[in-house]
Chains A and B, each alone.
Chain A
Amino acid sequence: MDYSRKALADALAADYAAGTLRGGARRRFEKLLGAHPALQGAVSEWQARLMPLTGAVVPEPPPARVWQAVERRLWPAAAAQPWWRRLGPWRAASGFATAAALAFALLLSNPAPVPAPIVVVLQSTGAEGQMVSSFVASVGGDGRSLVTQPVQPVALAADRVLELWSVPPQGAPRSLGLIKANGTTVLVREKLPATLLSGGTAALAVSIEPPGGSPTGVPTGPVVYAGKLTL
């Protein structure tokens, strides 16, 4: 390690986080940031040091018009629902359903009539440009089994995994476990919320996580697939 360069990087990161790096120097530094993880790390450390100092600033509630303007800009007119709520049930009825139903059929150990499986198509959210395909998740009609399968194999960095989440109507997402990027995953009933099909899950989502899954219990990486659970 070149210590003089490391010290310089630290000093620049300090100036950037403190706000004293200005003008052209600030813009050049921001361009460098994108390409240099070590510099990003130094900036993150300085931000973690300095930002809590702003806790001493007396809060100043903004006027209501600011929030109204935010809403108008993000959701002009008709787009009045989060994107995963806008996923229509017609998508579930598309050709993907066949593959998922076949996968589900393999699971059936009980020949007695059971409620039909619920099929959810998880569309790419566009959060990661290269992940364009979609996932199919099939929930057993009794809510006790869940099968996922990518429509096409998903390219994923070697040190990253996919984690499936149940998104309830209220409250925090709940992990259903890790799923394969290139094949069928069968999730066992112990992992599934008892209320999966009785209102406990509004949508399913897939996020990119470090090996072993999210260390925090909530999605930490980008959410790359999501689909509404329509009963």
Chain B
Amino acid sequence: MKPDAADWPEKSRDLALLLARTGLGDRAAFARLYERTSAHLFAVVLRIQRDRALAEDLLQEIYVSVWKAASGFDAARSQPLTWLTSIARNRAIDSLRRAQAQPQLSSTTRDDDDDDGRPDAVEAAPDDGPGPLELLGRASDARRLGQCMEHLSAAQRQSVALAFFDGLSHAEVAERLHEPLGTVKSWVRRALMTLKGCLERSVLRDSAGQN
């Protein structure tokens, strides 16, 4: 499947109209918005909250929030898909927090039985889907960041991919990779700052290419 991070802004343009109409109380537009975006948001939520029943409840809450917040969406400030994905991720991450506070929900504990820290532990993914590191690679390719991200070590890329795509905390990444917490924290930070630098250069490159 072709990575579609590159056409994010284009998709967002279409969705801006649907979101504006949703903000006006148009249920048909809201239904189309759901049709167009729910598979993406569900996939994003499922990577973080792997309990499908909980993930479905979350998705429901997310779209109820979207309906209520749509009239406050500011198209001048953010792209619709970015706005929607942020709402979805926040809900999913908050659900992990609640699950941790309720240890009796054993269904939400992670599949952490791997204890040898081999690279395939990092690539372990539910439903034989791509692992977080592969996703980061695809996303980097789609946004032409591959070369830039190569300056990061494999462990640094793994850290940020596990944290971002699968919603692992610093401590969980440290446990998964058998590395000290402080090391993992600095890896994630370094990876995020590298990403920021890459994106800023890529924007400059794009605007130079247009002139």
Contact = CB atoms under 8 A, between A and B. Distances in A.
Nearest to B72: A222
A63 B34 CA distance: 12
A58 B130 CA distance: 8
Contacts of B163: 18-20
Interface string B69-109: 00110111111011101100100010001000000000000
Contacts of A26: 93, 97
A55 B76 contact: no
Contacts of A221: 74
Interface in A144-182: 165, 167, 170, 172-173
B78 A47 contact: yes
A178 B31 CA distance: 30
Contacts of A172: 17, 20-21
A223 B160 contact: no
B178 to A, nearest CB: 18
Contacts of B59: 62, 66
Interface stretch (A96-104, A105-113, A212-220): A212-220
B177 interface: no
Contacts of B43: 57-60
A73 B60 contact: yes
Interface in B45-60: 46-48, 56, 59-60
Band of interface residues on A: 35 or more
B188 A219 contact: no
B38 A56 contact: no
Band of interface residues on B: 35 or more
A61 B38 CA distance: 7
A26 to B, nearest CB: 7
B56 to A, nearest CB: 5
Contacts of B23: 219, 222-223
A66 B164 CA distance: 25
A144 B177 CA distance: 70
B186 to A, nearest CB: 11
B40 to A, nearest CB: 5
Contact of A74 (B7, B44, B67): B67
A3 to B, nearest CB: 15
B124 interface: no
A56 B164 contact: no
B136 to A, nearest CB: 7
Nearest to B64: A73
B119 interface: no
Contacts of A66: 38, 42, 56, 59-60, 63
A137 interface: no
Given A51-B81, A57-B47, A127-B72, A173 B24 contact: yes
A49 B195 contact: yes
B129 interface: yes
Interface in B1-37: 1, 3-8, 16-17, 20-21, 23-28, 31, 34
A49 B72 contact: no
A20 B76 contact: no
Nearest to A23: B97
A127 B73 CA distance: 12
A218 B16 contact: yes
Contacts of B56: 62-63, 65-66
Interface in A75-120: 75, 81-85
B60 A61 contact: no
A219 B20 contact: yes
Given A19-B48, A55-B139, 15 more contacts: A18-B164, A19-B163, A20-B163, A20-B188, A23-B97, A53-B164, A55-B3, A57-B165, A58-B129, A61-B38, A66-B63, A127-B72, A173-B24, A220-B75, A223-B23
15 contacts: A18-B163, A52-B8, A53-B165, A54-B5, A54-B139, A55-B7, A61-B38, A61-B39, A62-B56, A62-B59, A67-B31, A81-B27, A173-B20, A215-B76, A221-B74
- In the A-B complex, list the 9 residue pairs whose CB atoms are closest, starting with the nearest: A55-B5, A59-B39, A82-B25, A56-B138, A56-B139, A53-B139, A60-B43, A218-B20, A62-B42
